[in-house]
Structure 1
Amino acid sequence: MKAFCLLTVSAVALMSVASAQAQTTDPTPAATVQSDDGATNDEIVVTAERRSTSLQRTGVAATVLTGEDLVRKSVNGVEQLQFATPSLTVNTTGQGNAFNIRGIGKTEQTSAIGVGVVTYRDGVATLPGYFQSEPYYDIASVEVLRGPQGTFAGGNATGGAIFITQKNPDVNSVNGYVMAQYGNYNDIKVQGAINLPISSTLALRVAGNVEHRDTFYTVTGAWTGNPGDRRDYSGRASLLWEPSANFRVLLKGDYNNIEYGGLPASASNIGTAAAPIPNTSDPLVVANNAYLNGRDEFGRVVLNMAYTTDSGIVFRSISGFQRGTTQINYDGDGTAATGTAAVPANEFRDNISEEIWSQEFNIVSPDTGRFTWVIGGYYQSDKIFIPPNGGYYSDLTPNTFTQFDIEIVGTNPKTALAAFGQVGYKLTDSLQVTLGGRWSRSSSANDAVARAYFTGIAAPVAQLVQVDKTVNKKFNGKVAVNWTVDANNFLYAFVATGTKAGGLNGPNLAGLAPLAFAPEDVTDFELGWKGTFMNGRLRTQLGGYYNLFKNFQVNIIDPRSPGLSSLYNVPGETKLYGLEASAQGNFDGFSFDMSMSVSNSELATFYAIDPRAGTPPAACNPTAGPVTARCINLTGREQNYAPKFTFSGGVQYAIRLGDNATLTPRLDFAHIGAVWGTLFQDAARGDRIEDRNILNAQLTLTTGDWSIAGYSTNLTNEHYVGAINGARRLAGAPRQYGVRVSRSF
C-alpha cells in the first residue's frame, strides 16, 4: 500500500505543475549566414533581451546553433541537444523531459515539480515539461541561454531557457528543400519545406516531417502493445504579410502526432529492498509485463505582429494558443515479475490534456543612442485536464487474485500575470550599464479527486477530494555592466535572479492535509569575456558563475507519514558554481567548435527519508534529523543531474572537388560526466548514471543544390542509461547509421 500511495501522490501532483511565462522574439531568425565550405563569417545573434543583438556583444552565457549546425551535428531533437551544449543535461522519461542547466531545472522525476528550463517556439513557451518530442525540422536557429532569465522569460526559467526559431516565409523567391533518409532500425524519414511568394507583400511557407523507426529495445515478458517503435507526423504552415516597411504580421501553426511506444525500461536495482544490487545489465534489453504504449498529440498557433514607427520604436504583440494530449502506459517497476504479495505487477497510465492561452505586448526602443529601453506585459492561462481513467495506477497480485487500482480525476487551472522592463545607458561609447526587472503573479489551483478500488468492489474503497489554491507574487531582475574594451574584446558582469513558482501537493489517501510548497529562488553572480580574432574567423567565450539557490524543491517522504510523498523546500542556501568556455573557428575549408564546463554544487543542510528500505524512523526533521538508517543527512551533496564536467567538440574539412562540388568529412564528440539521479546517492539502488561518451560522424558530398550524406550517431554503439524515473532506468539511443539525400531549391 505504501508504494501505491507514493505513486498516487506523484501522479496527482501533475496538477500542481508551475506555469511558464512566455518570451517574445523578433520575427527575424537569430541565425548566421553560411558559406559553401561551412565557414561562418557573419555575426551570430541572440534574442534574449527582446531585440536581436550580437552574441559577442551581449552579456549572456549562450550557445547558438543554426539550422545547418543542427544537421551537421545530428541534432534532431531535445535529447541530442545536450551533446552540443555545455552544462546541459536532458533526461527523457516518456511523457516529459527533465532539462537541467548548471544543475538547475527539473531534478526530481515527478510531475509535481515545475520546470526550471523553458523551451520556446517562435516566442511562445511550449507546454511546460511535456510535449518536448517535437522534431527539429526547417529550423532557423536554436539558442540555449544558461543562467536565470528572470527579467524577460520570467517564472520557470531559473536554470535558463531554450529559444527555437522556425524558418519564416519571405516574399523574395520560391525556395525550400526536400530530404529523404534511410537508416538501420528500418528508420525512414522524409521532410521538406516550400516557400511561396503570393505577392510582393504576402508569402506562405509550408513544412513537414514524417519518420518511422523500429524499436531499439529487446523486450521480453508478458508485455503487450507497441514497445518503443517511433512514428512521427509533423506539419507547419506559416503566413507572412508585410503591407508596408513598418508593419509585419506573422502567423504560424504547428501540428504534431508522436507515437513513441511507451518507452520500455528495466529496474534500476535487483535483489531485495533490504539488500539491493545495482542493475548493470544492458539497458536496451528489458523484461516487462504491462501494456506498453505512448503518444503525444499537440498543436500550436502563434500570431506575431510588429509595427515600427519612423523613429524606430517597435510595438509588438504575440498571441499563442496551444493544446496537447499525452497518453502513456508503462511498467511501473521495470520487471516481468508474475506477481506476488511482495513484488506485485505494476502498471501506470496517464491520459492528460493541457491547454494554454497567452498574450504578450512589448515596446522596444531603437538601438541607436546612449539610452535604450524595453517595456512589456504578459498574461497566461494554463489548464490541465485529467478525465476519468486519465490518471491511473494498477497493482495486480495474481496469486491472491486481487487488484488495487487508483484513479485520479480533476483539473488544475493556473494563471500568470507579469509586467517587465529593462533600461540601458552608455556611460561612454564603450561602457554600458543595464537594469531590468519583472513583477509577476502566478496562481495554481487543484480541483481533483483520488479514488481507490479493489477487484470485485464497484464503489471506491477510499476517496479524497482536494479543492485548493495558492498564489505567489515575486519580483526578479538583473543588473549588468558591459564593457567593449576594443574591437576584439568584450567583458561583462551581472547579478540576476530567477524564480520557479510554488504550488500545492496533491491529495493523498491517508487523510493528511496537503501542504503548499514555496517558490524556489536563485541568485546568479556572473563574469564573462568574449573575444573575436582573425577578422571574425575565431570567436571565444569564457564565463564563471556563482549561484545561491534558496528553497530548492524536492520530492521526499512526508515526515508526518512515512507512507506518503510530498514536495518540500530545502531550507538554507544551496550553492552551485563553475566555469564555462567555448570557441568557434572557421578557416577556409576547415572549421571547428568546442565547448566545456566545470561545475560543483553543495546542497544546504537537509535531512530526508529514503523510502526504499528499512523500518520507518520515528522522526526525521528536514533541518535537524536525527540521522538513522533511513533519515539521511544530505547536507553538502551534489545536485541531481549536475555533471562536474562536460565537453563537446566538432571538426570538419570541406575538400573542394571542382565543378561546384565538395566532400566534407565531420566528427563530433561529446562527454557528459556521471551524475546522481537522486539526492540519496545510493549506487546500490541504481541512483548513479554513469558518464556518456558519444561520437558522431558524417561524410557529405555536395554538388550544386544536391547533397548526399552517410551518417552515424553514437558510432561506438555505447549502451548507456539516459535517465532514471523512480524504480526504472531508461536507455539512451544506440548506434544509428544511414544515408540522407537532400536537394535545396
Structure 2
Amino acid sequence: MVSMRHKARFLAGAMIPAFLGLSQTAHAAEAADSLATADAATVDVGAAEADAGEEIIVTGEKQETTLQRAPLAITAIGADRLAQSNVTQLIDMNGFVPGLTVANSGSFVRVVSIRGVGYEASDNLSAQPGTSFHIDGVYVVSPYALQQDFLDLKRVEVLRGPQGTVFGQSATGGIINAITEKPDMAKFGGSVQLELGNYDLVRGTATLNVPLTDTLAIRGTVQRYYHKGFAVQTGLAPSYGRYGLDDADRLSTKLSLLWEPSDSFSAQLTAQYFTADENGAAQKHVADPDPDPRRISQDYPNKYQLDFFLAYADLRYDLGFGTLKSLTSYQRTRNHNQIDVDRLNYASLGAYDVQPYWDNGVDAFSQEFNLTSNGNGPLSYIVGGYFLYQNLKQDILEYKGTDATPPST
C-alpha cells in the first residue's frame, strides 16, 4: 500500500487601485464589436416585453441603462423565463445564452466559459477565472460555490468580452451577474411554491416581503430541494444500504433589509446561505462490468458537502451629477469531497485509488467604491476602486494500493 497526504495553504491578496471607464473612449472598441455581432444585445427577458417595445433595464456597467443603449454585448434573462426553462442553477444555463458554456469538472466544480474563455484551472483555488460569477455585483470567489442554487432572482445578466476594468476582476471572457429581488416598501406579500416529481423529488420555495415602515422593508426566501439518487453504487458494505448517487439534498436561504430614508440615499443589507449534503455524482467507468448505466460498480463511498455563506452591504448616495456607491462583502465557503478515484471496485481493477477527503476552504473580503454618472449627457463615466482579500486552503488525503483493504480514513 502506498499512502499520500498532501496539504496546501494559499494566501492571496489582490488590489486594483482604480478603474475608469468612458463610454465614448474606453469602451468604444468593445461597443463597436458588440454592435457588429449577431448576439450584441440579446433580449431574453421575455418575448412579450420585447414585442411590446418595452424598455428593458439592465445594470451592465455598474449603472442602470436600457438594454438597447448598453454599449456592450449583453444578454438579460428574466426570472419568469428562467423558471419556464427550469433553470435553477448555473449549470442549467449551458447552451441557454449565446457563447456561454457551463460544464462539470470532477463532478463538484463548474467550468464556465464565454466565447471559449473560462476557468481553465478550476481545481487551483488561487487561479483567476477567465469568466467570473457575481451575485448583485459581488464576485463569488470559490469555484465550488458555483454549485449553489439560484434563489429569489430578478434576472441574470451575461456580459461578453473583457470586464476587468469595471468589475475589478481579470474576467477576459466576461461575467455572469445574478441580480436578486429587493425588498419592497410599497406592499406586503409573499408566495409559496411546491414541486413534486419522481425519485421522491421535492422542491419547496417560500418568499415573504414585509414593509416595516415607509422607509424600511425586509424580504426573506427559503428553498428546500431533495430527491433520491438516479443511480445506485454497488460494491459497498451492506451497512451502507442502497447508496444512491446523483441525489440532491440542499437548503438555500436569503434575507435582505432595505432602508431608504430619502430619495437620495439607500442602504441594503443582504445575507444568504446555501448548504448541500449529498452522496456524489454517478460517474461510471468505461470498464464497469455492469451493463446497467444506473448501477455503478464502486466499492468506496462517494460524498459531497458544501456550505456557502455570503453577506454584503450596498450603500448608494445620489449626488445629482452622479451616484456614489459602496459595496462591502464577506463570503465563506467550505467544501468536503470523498471520492472513489479509480471509479471501479477492487474485484474488477485489482487495485484501488481513493480520497477519504479533499477539503477546500475560502474566506474572502471585498470592498468597492465607485462614482457613476447620472443621465444621458455627452459624457458617461465610472471611476472607483476595488479591493479583494482571499484566504484559500486545500487539504487532500489520497490512498493508492493493491491490497484488498484500503484505509477508511
Shorter-chain TM band? 0.7 to 0.9
Alignment partner of 1:179: what SS? strand
**How much has 1:104 moved relative to structure 2?**
1.1
Q: Deviations over 1:536-577 (max 9, x none)?
A: xxxxxxxxxxxxxxxxxxxxxxxxxxxxxxxxxxxxxxxxxx
Assess, with a 3 A threshold, how the Cα gap between structure 1 residues 37 and 57 changes in structure 2: closer, same or farther: closer
**How much has 1:87 moved relative to structure 2?**
1.9
Q: Deviations over 1:104-145 (max 9, x none)?
A: 112356336442211111121113312112212321010111
Q: Which amino acid aligns with 1:347?
A: Q
Runs of 4 or more above 6 Å deviation: 16-21, 31-39, 279-282, 401-405
Q: Are the equivalent residues in 2 in contact too, given 1:307–1:314 (CA < 8 A)?
A: yes
**How much has 1:347 moved relative to structure 2?**
2.8
After TM superposition, list the pairs within 5 Å mapping 1:167-178 onto structure 2. Answer: 167-178=181-192
Q: Which amino acid aligns with 1:102?
A: R
Is residue 75 from structure 1 mapped to residue 80 from structure 2 by the alignment?
no
After TM superposition, list the pairs within 5 Å mapping 1:245-394 onto structure 2. Answer: 245-267=263-285, 269-270=286-287, 284-309=294-319, 311-338=320-347, 343-386=351-394, 390-394=395-399
Larger Rg computed on CA atoms: 1
Is residue 241 from structure 1 mapped to residue 241 from structure 2 by the alignment?
no
Q: Which residue of 2 aligns with 1:524?
A: none
User: Which residues of structure 2 form unaligned runs of 5+?
Assistant: 20-42
Q: Which residue of 2 aligns with 1:201?
A: 215
Of all paired residues, the percent bearing the same amino acid is 25
Q: Deviations over 1:567-591 (max 9, x none)?
A: xxxxxxxxxxxxxxxxxxxxxxxxx
Structure 2 CA distance, aligned partners of 1:105 and 1:81?
A: 15
Q: Which residue of 2 aligns with 1:502?
A: none
Structure 1 CA distance, aligned partners of 2:348 and 2:7?
A: 25
Q: Are the equivalent residues in 1 in contact too, given 2:160–2:175 (CA < 8 A)?
A: yes
Q: Which amino acid aligns with 1:87?
A: G
Q: Which of residues 98, 118, 142 in structure 2 aligns to 1:105? A: 118
Assess, with a 3 A threshold, how the Cα gap between structure 1 residues 371 and 280 changes in structure 2: closer, same or farther: farther
Assess, with a 3 A threshold, how the Cα gap between structure 1 residues 352 and 32 changes in structure 2: closer, same or farther: closer
Structure 1 CA distance, aligned partners of 2:51 and 2:207?
A: 24
Q: Are the equivalent residues in 2 in contact too, given 1:330–1:349 (CA < 8 A)?
A: yes
Q: Are the equivalent residues in 1 in contact too, given 2:227–2:249 (CA < 8 A)?
A: yes
Structure 1 CA distance, aligned partners of 2:14 and 2:54?
A: 37
Structure 2 CA distance, aligned partners of 1:257 and 1:19?
A: 28
Q: Are the equivalent residues in 2 in contact too, given 1:203–1:241 (CA < 8 A)?
A: yes
**How much has 1:296 moved relative to structure 2?**
0.6
After TM superposition, list the pairs within 5 Å mapping 1:269-668 onto structure 2. Answer: 269-270=286-287, 284-309=294-319, 311-338=320-347, 343-386=351-394, 390-399=395-404
Q: Which amino acid aligns with 2:312?
A: V
Q: Are the equivalent residues in 1 in contact too, given 2:122–2:143 (CA < 8 A)?
A: no
Is residue 165 from structure 1 mapped to residue 187 from structure 2 by the alignment?
no
Q: Which residue of 2 aligns with 1:218?
A: 232
Q: Are the equivalent residues in 1 in contact too, given 2:323–2:372 (CA < 8 A)?
A: yes
Q: Which residue of 2 aligns with 1:62?
A: 74
Bigger shift: residues 146-155 or 321-330: 146-155
Is residue 129 from structure 1 mapped to residue 143 from structure 2 by the alignment?
yes
Q: Are the equivalent residues in 2 in contact too, given 1:117–1:159 (CA < 8 A)?
A: yes
Alignment partner of 1:256: what SS? strand
Q: Which residue of 2 aligns with 1:459?
A: none
**How much has 1:284 moved relative to structure 2?**
4.4
The structure richer in helix per residue is 2
Bigger shift: residues 244-253 or 39-48: 39-48
Q: Deviations over 1:140-185 (max 9, x none)?
A: 0101112221211233412211000110001111123210110111
Aligned residue pair count: 379
Assess, with a 3 A threshold, how the Cα gap between structure 1 residues 249 and 237 changes in structure 2: closer, same or farther: same
Structure 2 CA distance, aligned partners of 1:214 and 1:39?
A: 42
Alignment partner of 2:145: what SS? coil
Structure 1 CA distance, aligned partners of 2:367 and 2:374?
A: 23
Assess, with a 3 A threshold, how the Cα gap between structure 1 residues 322 and 358 changes in structure 2: closer, same or farther: same
Assess, with a 3 A threshold, how the Cα gap between structure 1 residues 348 and 90 changes in structure 2: closer, same or farther: farther
Q: Are the equivalent residues in 2 in contact too, given 1:229–1:259 (CA < 8 A)?
A: no
Alignment partner of 2:143: what SS? coil
Structure 1 CA distance, aligned partners of 2:47 and 2:204?
A: 26
Q: Are the equivalent residues in 2 in contact too, given 1:231–1:259 (CA < 8 A)?
A: yes
Structure 2 CA distance, aligned partners of 1:226 and 1:350?
A: 20
Alignment partner of 2:146: what SS? coil
Structure 1 CA distance, aligned partners of 2:375 and 2:290?
A: 57
Structure 1 CA distance, aligned partners of 2:298 and 2:171?
A: 36
The structure richer in strand per residue is 1
After TM superposition, list the pairs within 5 Å mapping 1:137-156 onto structure 2. Answer: 137-156=151-170
Alignment partner of 1:79: what SS? helix
Q: Which amino acid aligns with 1:322?
A: Q
Alignment partner of 1:110: what SS? coil
Q: Which residue of 2 aligns with 1:480?
A: none
Structure 2 CA distance, aligned partners of 1:402 and 1:245?
A: 65
Q: Which residue of 2 aligns with 1:90?
A: 102
Q: Deviations over 1:83-112 (max 9, x none)?
A: 311222212233321111122112356336
Structure 2 CA distance, aligned partners of 1:17 and 1:144?
A: 27
Is residue 45 from structure 1 mapped to residue 54 from structure 2 by the alignment?
no
